[in-house]
Amino acid sequence: MRYVVTGAAGFVGSHLAEALLEAGHDVLGIDSFTDYYDPAIKEANARAIDVRRLDLAADPLDFSGFDAIFHLAGQGGARSFGGDVFPRYLRLNLHATERVFEAAARGGVRVVFASSSSIYGAAERYPTPEEATPAPLSPYGITKLAGEHLAWAFGRSFDLDVVVLRYFTVFGPRQRPDMAFARIAHALVDDKPFDLYGDGTQTRGWTYVSDVVDATLVAMEAGRGTYNVGGAVEASIRDVIALFERLAGRSLDVRMHSAAPGEPSRTNADTRRIRSELGWEPRTSLEDGLRAQWEWTTAKAAAS
């Protein structure tokens, strides 16, 4: 099979592209290498992948000759507000996605679209099922939800074959440097303070990256509609800090700040649909996943 992976130099995208290559598929990675975080990190992620530098919102797109597209590219960061932030999200999460869907529909190419638990915002119930009313709290969540609506509009009007996955807080090696686990691990390695926004009791359904990759692959094979992709265990930031401290053998210097806007106090996925329809379930425990991320972080620090 011949696949396109957008966002292939990013955290989840690079893991997915490598899994496809290891399975014997041909993979074209696409990434714009934006400066949201250090592009050198993305270049390191993409060393084993054929990645084409492409602006999905502007450059010509032609997916003829490919069997399917994993559309993971987008502007992350659920806390970002103000200034020129929203136009950036509109361009990279919505305009780019519209162009990917248009090109895929034109070429008759199936798409798996990576959405987010951020579309739920402060969810109406927990664990949160796919039919819960969306109420995003951030530009990121708003544009991801709009991307979902684009998916179904292209499906109805242009016969786009598309599956939507709502990822719940993914962690593991290569996690974006602005995300909590990466910041905790680097603070411990570098013996620096960690900035905690909120009181630390906020909880997430943390999802290990290899489990997310597995869900994405089975969704491409047999998925129809929308699926939550979430970890088996919900835990607080304070729980995570305690686990990291145990792995590191030392305490973290935590600096407290007020809660960030756009960040819900809780996320927890109801994954019954993907379990029953596709046979997927998360297999990596929070502690095992944290250990893998810690070992990767310390090895990277030792090599630098």
Residue 253 has what pLDDT? 98
Q: Compute the mean pLDDT over every residue in the chain, rounded to the nearest whole number.
A: 96
Q: What is the pLDDT of residues 21-55, one digit of tens each?
A: 999 999 999 999 999 899 999 999 999 999 999 99
Q: What is the pLDDT of residues 184-199, one digit of tens each?
A: 999 999 999 999 999 9
Residue 78 has what pLDDT? 67
2-171+207-231+268-282 CATH fold = Rossmann fold (3.40.50)
Quote the CA–CA distance of 295 and 258 in Å, as a whole number.
30
Q: What amino acid positions are annotated as catalytic residues?
A: 140
* pTM for the full predicted model: 0.97
Q: What is the pLDDT of residues 100-112, one digit of tens each?
A: 999 999 999 999 9
Which residue's structure tokens are 């402060």? 122
129 pLDDT more than 80 = yes
Residue 261 has what pLDDT? 84
Q: Are 177 and 123 in contact (CB under 8 A)?
A: no
Residue 262 has what pLDDT? 80
For the chain, domain boundaries: 2-171+207-231+268-282
